[in-house]
Amino acid sequence: MSNYPKPDAATLLEIYKKAALIKQNDERVIKQMMAGKLVMPYYSPRGQEIIPSALSVSLTDDDYICTIYRGIHDMLAKGFPLDALWAELAGRVTGTCKGKGGPMHLTCPEKGMMVTTGIVGSSMPIATGLGWAAKLDGKNRVSVANFGDGAANIGAFHESMNMAAVWKLPVIFLCQNNLYAEHTSIAYSRVVEKISERAAGYGMPGVTVNGNDPDEMYGAAKVAIDRARAGEGPTLIEAMTFRFNGHLLGESGGYMDKDLYADAQTKDPMPILRARLVTEGIASEETLKAIEADIDARIDAALTAAMDAPFPDLAELKRDVFAEEIA
Ligand SMILES: Cc1ncc(C[n+]2csc(CCOP(=O)(O)OP(=O)(O)O)c2C)c(N)n1
């Protein structure tokens, strides 16, 4: 990784701001759910904050991302408006899908967030199609497909990578390898050591990085994004990480290897990055506290506004589902 570009001080602080927003937002969602004030399926991205944060600092609103049910971190990093996000979580009309998308279908095309999908592996063909659209419209945008290690075993992964490579599409295939697909350890589901090795079969670069390390993740993402913008085609990035909660909130994660889990806790990327910012003189303790307090205040405001907004009424049920409503 030594030849990768490294984030400068300002970029590193930007990465921390995004990651802190993801972490604090996750904590608040869980608190609301535990208090019975928010009722929904929730797939916590805790532990995976750095990956989308270090990626998104090199993306613009015009770039596309597609993600999965766990992708609230991808959405927040790319700038999903907080008020609309909380309204969508709470099923209120002020959400980006008028409360009809809910937590598993977060979408905000104005910011390039095209889809969150619960169908494992389906973010890849959609992002590939968006990559094709990006190539046709010539606006130099890139399209990112986020997915997990489990999704890398779905046929759509291979079809999408092949098509993107053949047509040299500006797509980044970003596998967030958190070592478990639902309850299945990665040890049971692939023979090659690294998922990134599969890129060779499609003639595209494939790289495995420590997704919890902002330097490695930023560098790999920047190289892939620059390559895509230059018309050189797709890249597969396998970002190694760990999810700190069960697959679905409320599930204990008892199938996780206990030593692995304990080790991952000692490598929590959030306190590590926070301490680094202070040690390297990038931000003082006071500055970081102010940033975190500001995030909490923004979440407070978004939460209050969401809870005060109405639910969509029944007449909305079928609107926006079909281009033309079928009687
Ligand atoms: C096509 C399909 N098959 C199975 C499922 C059930 N399912 C939901 S999540 C999941 C695990 C996916 O794991 P991974 O892709 O590693 O993502 P992670 O949840 O770890 O972020 C499975 C099998 C599904 N939603 N869609």
Ligand 1 atom 21, closest CA: 148
Distance 172 CA to ligand 1 centre (A): 20
327 has a pLDDT exceeding 80: no
CA of 96 to the centre of ligand 1 (A): 25
Two tokens, residue 134: 């990006």
Close Cβ partners of 315 (under 8 Å, ≥ 6 residues apart): none
pTM higher than 0.85 for the full model? Answer: yes
Nearest CA to ligand 1 atom 17: 148
pLDDT of residue 1: 67
Instruction: Find how far residue 111's CA is from the centre of its chain.
Output: 14
| Dist. CA 296–CA 306, nearest whole Å | 15
With 70 as the cut, is the pLDDT of residue 155 above it? yes
Give the residue among 111, 116, 162 at the shortest CA–CA distance from 141: 111
Pocket test for ligand 1, best of 182, 184, 240, 251 (most atoms within 8 A of CB): 182
* In the predicted structure, residue 137 carries a pLDDT above the cut 70: yes
> What value does the mean pLDDT of the chain take?
96
The two tokens of residue 233 are 């085609």
Kind plus residue range of the DSSP H or E element containing 181 = strand 180-181
Dist. CA 124 → ligand 1 center (Å): 13
Residue 3: pLDDT band (50, 70, 90) is confident
> For residue 238, what are the β-bridge partners?
175, 208
Confidence of residue 2 (pLDDT cuts 50, 70, 90): confident
| Ligand 1 pocket member 238 (CB < 6 A) | no
| Model pLDDT, residue 326 | 67
Query: What is the identity of the amino acid at 112?
Result: G
Please indicate whether residue 148, judged by its CB atom, sits closer than 6 Å to ligand 1: yes
Given a cut of 90, whether residue 325 has pLDDT beyond it is no
Which is nearest to 257 in space by CA: 176, 194, 148, 180?
180
Comparing 2-6, 52-56, 295-299, 302-306, the range with the smallest average pLDDT is 2-6
Q: Is the CB of 118 under 6 A from ligand 1?
A: yes
And the tokens for 149?
Answer: 């290690």
Q: Cα 197 to chain center, whole Å?
A: 22
Alpha-carbon gap, residue 94 to 112, rounded angstroms: 19
- pLDDT at residue 4 tops 70: yes
Average pLDDT over residues 181-188: 93
